[in-house]
């Protein structure tokens, strides 16, 4: 069974993000998951719920117990396609917001 530290490090590695970025993405302060990683307690259930909602491809059994694979193996093509399209849409919205911010700086 993997430790909390190992599970959070594996999550960050699998997502290609730092724990600070993951924390911000799920609505936490940037240092919260880092503090959780260094804690002897488990990952709070509220954080797990937030991770599950934002990253549906992550196997919550792994995140809770450290058993199994970090990724769900049963995500079908349809679910994966929907997940990818949702991410693309979100990125598009982020790009629009960033472009607006740059335009505002030029004024």
What range defines the domain where residue 40 resides? 1-73
Nearest-angstrom CA–CA distance, 61 and 102: 42
In the prediction, which pLDDT does 74 show?
60
Q: What is the pLDDT of residue 39?
A: 84
What is the pTM for the complete model shown?
0.64
Residues 103 and 60 in one domain: no
CA angle, residues 49, 4, 53, in degrees to nearest 5: 15
Same domain, 48 and 84: no
Taking Cα atoms as reference points, which of 26, 20, 19, 16 lies closest to residue 4?
Answer: 19
Q: For 22-58, what is each residue's pLDDT tens digit?
A: 999 999 998 999 899 888 888 899 999 999 999 999 9
- How many domains is the chain partitioned into structurally? 2
CATH number for the domain harbouring residue 47: 1.10.260.40
């Amino acid at each position: 069974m993997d430790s909390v530290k190992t599970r959070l490090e594996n999550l960050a590695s699998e997502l290609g993000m730092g724990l600070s970025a993951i924390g911000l993405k799920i609505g936490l302060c940037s240092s919260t998951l880092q503090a959780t990683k260094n804690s002897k307690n488990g990952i709070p259930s509220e954080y797990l719920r937030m991770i599950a909602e934002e990253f549906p491809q992550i196997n919550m059994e792994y995140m809770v117990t450290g058993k199994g694979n970090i990724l769900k193996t049963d995500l079908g093509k349809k679910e994966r396609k929907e997940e990818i399209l949702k991410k693309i849409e979100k990125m598009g919205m982020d790009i629009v917001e960033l472009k607006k911010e740059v335009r505002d700086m030029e004024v």
